[in-house]
Amino acid sequence: MLISVGEQITGHKIIEQKDILFGVADSTEGGMFRRNAIKKLIHAAELVGANAITNLHMEIYQTTPEVTEATAYGNAVVVEQTWGSVSHEVKTITPAGLQPKVDDSPEAEIMDANGYKFVVCPKCKSKYKADIDENNRIRIVGFDDVDDDEPGLQIYCLRCGSKFTVPDSL
């Protein structure tokens, strides 16, 4: 729970106002009653789903000659961090079992079957139907080059995850 005596929480923006809440404790509870009042306020804020309290105030009353009462109150709010440690990891989705980067991917073989050409994964022998683009180069529909550093078209095998080079032409 983030608590501030001001209207804002540093580094955060208020995205939802919940309610003005109170926590009350008195000296019959012992010497820590001021702190208890704040604890009760925090508990009340948790119950309404807040993660911060702004405008925290504390009032102390002498209710009887023997008893002092503390009232802590503030605005229960929901805040969101605007800067700092929030980071989103960006992950590229690739087939499972992805191999570490290789600079020299093995070149796939081409095979004929039923009048079609297939590119064959050098590792697991999975077949990918070859298409010929307007420059007479082999392409596989749905696969883009995954390695700009290496010459030619490299793809990841969907089955075994190994990276291989598609032959330039038939």
Total of chain residues touching Zn ion, rule CB under 5 A: 7
In the bound complex, what is the minimum distance in angstroms from residue 54's beta carbon to Zn ion? 58
Q: Which of 32, 67, 124, 170 binds Zn ion (CB under 5 A)?
A: 124
Closer of 78 and 98 to Zn ion (Cβ) = 98
Closer of 8 and 126 to Zn ion (Cβ): 126
Minimum CB separation of residue 165 from Zn ion in Å reads: 13
> Under rule CB under 5 A, which residues in 134-163 are in contact with Zn ion?
157, 159-160
Shortest distance, CB of residue 146 to Zn ion, whole angstroms? 14
Contact pattern from residue 59 through residue 88 relative to Zn ion, giving x for each residue in contact according to CB under 5 A and a dash for the rest: ------------------------------
Q: Output 72 or 157, the one with its CB closest to Zn ion.
A: 157
Q: Which is nearer to Zn ion, 55 or 126 (CB)?
A: 126
Among 14, 126, 127, 145, binds Zn ion (CB under 5 A): 126
Strand partners, 74: 21
CB of 120 to Zn ion, least distance (A): 9
Angle at 115 between CA 110 and CA 116, to 5 degrees: 45
Alpha carbon dihedral 120, 121, 125, 130, in 10-degree steps, equals: -30
Query: Is residue 170 a contact partner of residue 112, using CB atoms and an 8 Å limit?
Result: no
| 121 burial level (CB within 10 Å; 0-12, 13-18, 19+) | buried
Q: How far is the CB of 124 from Zn ion (least distance, A)?
A: 3
For residue 136, the Cα-to-chain-centroid distance in whole angstroms is 43
Three-class DSSP category at 146:
coil
Q: Three-state SS for 27?
A: helix
Query: Which of left, alpha, beta for 149 (phi over 0: left; psi -120 to 50: alpha)?
Result: alpha
Residues at the interface with Zn ion (CB under 5 A): 121, 123-124, 126, 157, 159-160
